[in-house]
Chains A and B, each alone.
Chain A
Amino acid sequence: GAVVSQHPSWVICKSGTSVKIECRSLDFQATTMFWYRQFPKQSLMLMATSNEGSKATYEQGVEKDKFLINHASLTLSTLTVTSAHPEDSSFYICSARDWDRGDEQYFGPGTRLTVT
């Protein structure tokens, strides 16, 4: 199957700083990527849909000024958590859809963010 990578796999930052997480589709072009957040022992919650060359679409309750998404190329989407707070500590997972291969979505391995 297709491969999606994320970087970094884990990051610790201080409260008030910003953190950038990268999501790359390695062997296919992804016009659409998705960002999810998962708190401990909970399910994945869709945060936003990232569209190449246009603005991201955010789910209700997700602050677009806090979670900046940029999808500048067909293989890269970035999520920047601005002015991070301890409550932003979570597991962030991206996924991408290869429309040429059908309905399956391909998930990155996730990024563990800890804000101290």
Chain B
Amino acid sequence: SQQGEEDPQALSIQEGENATMNCSYKTSINNLQWYRQNSGRGLVHLILIRSNEREKHSGRLRVTLDTSKKSSSLLITASRAADTASYFCATDDQAGTALIFGKGTTLSVSS
């Protein structure tokens, strides 16, 4: 089963622009994580935000979490061509062990 939906499904921007991706989920969570996946490759963990946190930063990444709306957003500032990838949000399953992934946003950054 899938927990969340990402929005948009695909995003194309120019280098230097900011990219914003949104994720909605259905059930209560302990934390929410964002991952990046380059085409045909494994996952890279980007950031984890806990349910009692509202915002978190890591380098050019900014993640927000609104538990009342059951949504999160990932902002990538000053994007680079190397940011081209698929981005997924993931939350714990109801047992609190496995991760359930959203459908993902495919980001394309052109130079």
Judge whether A32 and B40 touch: CB under 8 Å: no
Contacts A103-B48, A104-B48, A108-B42: A95 and B88 contacting too (C-beta < 8 A)?
no
- A44-B88, A103-B30 known; A1 and B42 CB under 8 Å? no
Determine the residue in chain A with the shortest Cβ distance to B103.
A43
Q: What is the CA–CA distance of A104 and B92 in the complex, to the nearest angstrom? A: 10
Q: Is the CB of B42 within 8 A of A46?
A: no
Residue in contact with B2 in the complex, picked from A45, A95, A97, A104, CB distance below 8 Å:
A45
- Inter-chain contacts of B48 with A (CB < 8 A): 103-104
A95 to B, closest residue via Cβ = B99
Q: Tell me, rounded to whole Å, the shortest Cβ–Cβ distance linking A110 to chain B.
A: 5
Q: Does A109 contact B (CB under 8 A)?
A: yes
Q: Is B77 an interface residue (CB 8 A)?
A: no
A109 to B98, CA, bound (A): 17
Task: For the complex, count residues of B whose C-beta is within 8 A of A.
Answer: 25
In the assembled complex, how far is the CB of residue A47 from the closest CB belonging to chain B, in whole angstroms?
A: 10
Interface size in chain A (residues, C-beta < 8 A) = 26
A91 to B43, CA, bound (A): 12
**Alpha-carbon separation in the docked complex, A109 to B44 (Å):** 9
Which residue numbers of B lie inside 8 Å of A, CB to CB?
Answer: 1-2, 30-31, 33, 35, 40-43, 45, 48, 50, 88, 92-93, 97-104, 106
The 10 A-B residue pairs with the shortest CB-CB distance in the complex, in nearest-first order? A109-B42, A107-B43, A44-B101, A43-B101, A110-B42, A43-B103, A34-B98, A43-B104, A46-B98, A103-B31
Q: List 10 A-B contacts (CB under 8 A).
A: A32-B97, A34-B98, A36-B101, A42-B103, A43-B102, A43-B103, A46-B93, A46-B98, A46-B101, A93-B43
> Which residues of A are in contact with B by a Cβ distance under 8 Å?
1, 32, 34, 36, 41-46, 49, 59-60, 91, 93, 95, 97, 103-110, 112
